[in-house]
Structure 1
Amino acid sequence: MRNASEGSGVPEPDPVDARLGARLAELRAQHGWSLGELADRSGVSRSTLSRAERAEISPTAAVLNRLCHVYGRTMSQLLSEVEAEPTPVVRAADQAVWQDRASGFVRRSVSPPHAGLRGELVEGRLAVGADLAYDRPPVAGLEQHIWVLEGALEVTAEQTAHRLESGDSLRMRVWGPTRFRCAGETEARYLLAVVRP
C-alpha cells in the first residue's frame, strides 16, 4: 500500500514496485530500446511503461505478461529477480551444511546465493584422500576464488593442476571440467567465492 511521505504529500513507492520498476528499466536498457520501441514491441503504452519503470504504478499481470513475452522470461523468473533484499547477516546456525559422505566432502553455505546478488561464499572441507571431479561448471564462465584455510588442496582446471597450501589463493573462470583433491595428510579446508557472470 502506498503511503504519503510525511509532510511531502508524495506517495512513496512500494519497495517491490520500486525494485520491479528498476529491473524493467534495466532490461529495456540492456536491449537498447527506447520507451517508444518497447511500446511498439509489447503493445503497452509509453506512459504506462514510463510510470511502471519509475514505480509510480503497480503494473498489472497483463502488462507484466506482455513484457515477459518481449524479454523472453516467465513471470516467475522476472519476479524472482526482484525478491526482497537479502538478509545482510547470515548466522552460523542458519548456514546450510551438506555432506557427500561417499567422497568425504562437506559444504557449508556461508553466504548463500540470492536472486539479487551475483556472488556467494562456500566453505569446503575435503577429508584426507578426497577427490572431487566436475565435468562442467553449472554456468559457463563462472568466476571462482579459492582461499585455502587449512591443509593442502590441488585444484585442476584447463588441464593445469595448482597445488595450494594454507594461505594460498587461486582465482579463475571456469569453462570446462575441474577437480578438487585433498593433497595433504590432513583435511583440506578452504573458502570458495563464486561470482556468476
Structure 2
Amino acid sequence: MRHAPDAEDPDPVDVRLGARLAELRAERGWTLDDLAERAGVSRSTLSRAERAETSPTAALLNRLCAVHGRTMSQLLGEVEARPAPVVRAADQPVWEDRASGFVRRSVSPPHAGLRGELVEGRLPAGADLAYDRPPVPGLEQHLWVLEGALEVTADGTAHALDTGDCLRTRVWGPTRFRCPGPGDARYVLAVVLP
C-alpha cells in the first residue's frame, strides 16, 4: 500500500495521474471551467488534482472517468510506467482513497484496449463510497466478496453480500458500496465494458 507523501514530495502516481488528466482535458480543448461544468466538480479541485497538490478521491476519479469515457482501471493503466502481459502481485498498482480508506488493486495487466479487467477492493468497516454515475454507462460488473460483508446499491436496489456471495449487475446510474463491519471487506470486481 502506498504511504502518504510529504507535503514537499508529491506521490509519483499522483503526479503522473495529474498530468494525464490535464492531457485528456487539453485533447478535448476544454478549459478547467469547461471540465468543471461537465464533471460537476469545482475548478479549484480539478486544478489541484492536475498539479498533484492533492490526491484525488475515488468519487472524483469516477466523475472524471465518466466525462472522459474510461474506466478507472483504464485511466490508472495509462499512468503506469510500462504495460506488460503479466503483472506480478508485488507490482500490481495499488491506489488508496485516503478520505475513505478504500484501497484498490489493479490485478489485470494494464492495456489501453481492455474490455475486461479484475480489481481487488478493500473497504474498512464503516466505509461508505457513493458514485453518482458509472464511468461508462452500461458497464457490467461481477462483484465477489472474499472476506467480510458488503452492502451494494445499484439501480436503486440494495444487496447485502456476505463472504462468498457474488453480485452481477449492469451499471447505468448511481452505485454505493458500504462495509457495515464489524470487520473490513475484501472483494474482487470483474469489470466488462459494454
- For Structure 1 versus Structure 2, the TM-score category normalised by the shorter chain is 0.5 to 0.7
The match for 1:191 is 188
Q: CA deviation at 1:112?
A: 4.2
Provide the C-alpha distance between the structure 2 equivalents of 1:162 and 1:87, rounded to a whole number of angstroms: 36
1:178 alignment partner, one of 172, 175, 178: 175
Q: CA deviation at 1:88?
A: 3.1
Q: CA deviation at 1:121?
A: 0.6
Runs of 4+ in 1 over 4 A off after TM superposition: none
Decide whether the 8 Å contact of 2:86 with 2:109 is kept in 1: no
What SS class does the counterpart of residue 87 from structure 2 fall into? coil
After TM superposition, the structure 1 = structure 2 runs for residues 27-176 of structure 1, keeping only pairs within 5 Å, are 87-176=84-173
Q: Percent identity?
A: 82
Decide whether the 8 Å contact of 2:84 with 2:110 is kept in 1: no
Q: CA deviation at 1:89?
A: 1.8
> Can you list the C-alpha shifts for 1:24-48, whole angstroms capped at 9, x where unaligned?
xxxxxxxxxxxxxxxxxxxxxxxxx
- Alignment-mate amino acid for residue 144 of structure 1: Q
> Can you list the C-alpha shifts for 1:103-157, whole angstroms capped at 9, x where unaligned?
1200000114422331111000000100000000010000000000000000001
Decide whether the 8 Å contact of 2:85 with 2:109 is kept in 1: no
Decide whether the 8 Å contact of 2:118 with 2:189 is kept in 1: yes
- Alignment-mate amino acid for residue 125 of structure 1: R
Provide the C-alpha distance between the structure 1 equivalents of 2:118 and 2:153, rounded to a whole number of angstroms: 20
Provide the C-alpha distance between the structure 2 equivalents of 1:123 and 1:114, rounded to a whole number of angstroms: 17
When normalised by structure 2's length, the TM-score is 0.56
What SS class does the counterpart of residue 90 from structure 2 fall into? helix
- Alignment-mate amino acid for residue 89 of structure 2: A
Decide whether the 8 Å contact of 1:163 with 1:183 is kept in 2: no
Provide the C-alpha distance between the structure 2 equivalents of 1:171 and 1:185, rounded to a whole number of angstroms: 24
Q: Which runs of 5+ in 2 are unaligned?
A: 1-82
When normalised by structure 1's length, the TM-score is 0.55
CA RMSD between the two structures: 1.2
More strand by share: 1
Which structure has more relative contact order (CA 8 Å, sep 6+)? It is 2
What SS class does the counterpart of residue 170 from structure 1 fall into? strand
Q: Which runs of 5+ in 1 are unaligned?
A: 1-85
Provide the C-alpha distance between the structure 2 equivalents of 1:111 and 1:168, rounded to a whole number of angstroms: 22
Decide whether the 8 Å contact of 2:84 with 2:109 is kept in 1: no
